[in-house]
Each structure stands twice: as C-alpha cells, then as structure tokens.
A and B are shown apart, each in its own frame.
Chain A
Amino acid sequence: SQKIEQNSEALNIQEGKTATLTCNYTNYSPAYLQWYRQDPGRGPVFLLLIRENEKEKRKERLKVTFDTTLKQSLFHITASQPADSATYLCALDEGSSNTGKLIFGQGTTLQVKP
C-alpha cells in the first residue's frame, strides 16, 4: 500500500529565508498531490494541488514541485514569516488512479523565527 514520509523533525528557519519541506511516497505515482496547513487546535487548510503531469505549481509565496521519478514533492515558502509557522501536511490519492481517498503524511512542523 502507498506510504507517505515527511520529515518528522521540526524545521526551524530565520524570517526571510526560504523553507523547503519534503514529501516522499513509496509506490505508484498518484494522480495528484495536495499540501495542507494545520495550526494547533484547528483542522487542516488546503493550500495547493499539483497533478501528475505538472512539474511545478505556484501560489503567491508558495511553490510546489512534483517529481514522479524521485517519488517526491517539495513545498517551498519563500520570504518566510513568523505567521507561516505551522504544521504542513502532504496528502495524495491512495490509488494510482483517482479513488477519491486521500492518505496524509504525518506532517512537518515549521517554525519561523523573527
């Protein structure tokens, strides 16, 4: 079955720097991959979706890449701010074709220091 691995260690960076978070999956490439943000005590919030035929997707200061050869997605936050501090979750479809069932990684906590 598909498994997702995200860095379990927190990522600490200085304000203004670029944060890069990694999501690796183990088996077949999914039809799409999503990134969510989760703040303490709140539910995840959708940020970006990237399809299997897309290499890169951008939204304001966010950028996601999808490398099906490496079985990896990278999530970048440029010009990071303390308000970006949160846990970021990677999610993908359980199947190689659309099953509609998402599986989530355990998330990586980002701490941006002023």
Chain B
Amino acid sequence: EAGVVQSPRYKIIEKKQPVAFWCNPISGHNTLYWYRQNLGQGPELLIRYENEEAVDDSQLPKDRFSAERLKGVDSTLKIQPAELGDSAVYLCASSSGGRYYNEQFFGPGTRLTVL
C-alpha cells in the first residue's frame, strides 16, 4: 500500500514569492491534515479536511495561506506571499475513520526555505 505522497520534497524561494505544496493521501482515507513543523518542535495543525470540507482551519493564517481539497482526495496548500518566518517543514497526513483514536499517517514533508 502506498503511503502519503508529497511534492516537492524541497523548495527554496525568495520572500514575497508564492509557493504551493501538493499531497496525495492514502487511498480511502477521508481525513487529511496539513501541519507545519519548525525546527526542534512538534507538528502544528494548520487545517483538517473531512472529505472536501475543511472542518478545522482555525490555525491557518488566512491572509496568506490557502488550501483546497477538490474531490476529497488530493490537496494543495498555498502560501502567497511567503515570508521569512514561513521557513519550516510542511507535513501532510491522512487517517481513515472519523475523529476517534485517529492514528495518522504522515508523508515525508516539504522543507521550505524562504530567503
């Protein structure tokens, strides 16, 4: 069974430029998460989807971040414009069933460097 796929693995951009990350979750997983992980810290949730619906985006900086999950499968996270403080690893995760005891499966992440 294929795991969570993310691309690109690495991205270096200059500040004020746009950037997008793509995620393909495990087949059949209805719940998809985007996390941001700063160096030496644990992942922090940005947004959670149940199928196509964003059920928790309270920690997504909506002035510059946007996300979509069309058709309830793949998802894209976008930053426009990027700031220096956005440098981090962006992780996508998926889980199979609702919100109970949700073992999450993570992708390898995209390491973003903003210069």
Residue ranges of A at the interface with B (Cβ–Cβ < 8 Å)? 4, 8, 31-32, 34, 41-46, 49, 51, 89, 91, 98-107
Contacts and interface: CB of A to CB of B under 8 A. Distances in A.
A91 B103 contact: no
Interface string B33-71: 000000011111100100000001000000000000000
B42 A101 contact: no
Nearest to B41: A106
A24 to B, nearest CB: 14
Q: Which of A44, A51, A91 has the most CB of B within 10 A?
A: A44
A98 B99 contact: yes
Chain A CB within 10 Å — which of B31, B48, B98, B104 has the most? Answer: B104
Contacts of A42: 108-109
Contact of B48 (A46, A49, A51, A101): A101
Interface in B81-106: 91, 93, 98-106
Given A41-B108, A42-B108, A43-B109, A98 B42 contact: no
Contacts of B4: 43
A32 B91 CA distance: 22
Contact of A51 (B31, B56, B101, B106): B101
B107 interface: yes
Contact of A107 (B42, B48, B56, B99): B42
